[in-house]
Amino acid sequence: MTRTPRFEDVLGPLAAAIVREVTVRGEASVADVVDGLRRAQRRDHAYTTIMTVMGRLHEKGVLERERRGRQYIYRASAPEAELVDRLSGLAVDHVVERYGTAALRHFAVRLADLDPETRRRLAALADEPE
């Protein structure tokens, strides 16, 4: 619980690598990301695959984009910690919507099993404004 969450914790490996590449560059086109991933991973990804994933990340609010000429330029919509927090919340919402009270029961059991100090820290986090 003391480790800072990262993109890799809430996104698939390719999506996390894409967001990481955009974040490192500050802003990037699809072609920039394809080139950066080729260098970093020593692996070729299809341009259309990267374009599709970046479009989906934009739809989820992870990446912002603006049209420049004939291409989009992407940038992270917020700092990493904020994006990870937002995506984590969406994941929890999805689990609760899908599994309802069964999911909530499992969350409650996990919380009850935590040591008192961790429960105290969680309660303090819950009181923080979003």
CATH number, domain 7-76? 1.10.10.10
For the chain, give the number of residues.
130
Distance CA(2)–CA(128), nearest Å, equals 17
Mind listing the pLDDT tens digit for each residue in 79-124?
988 888 888 888 889 899 999 999 999 988 998 899 999 888 888 8
- Please tell me the predicted confidence (pLDDT) of residue 122: 84
Dihedral of alpha carbons 102, 104, 107, 111, sign: negative
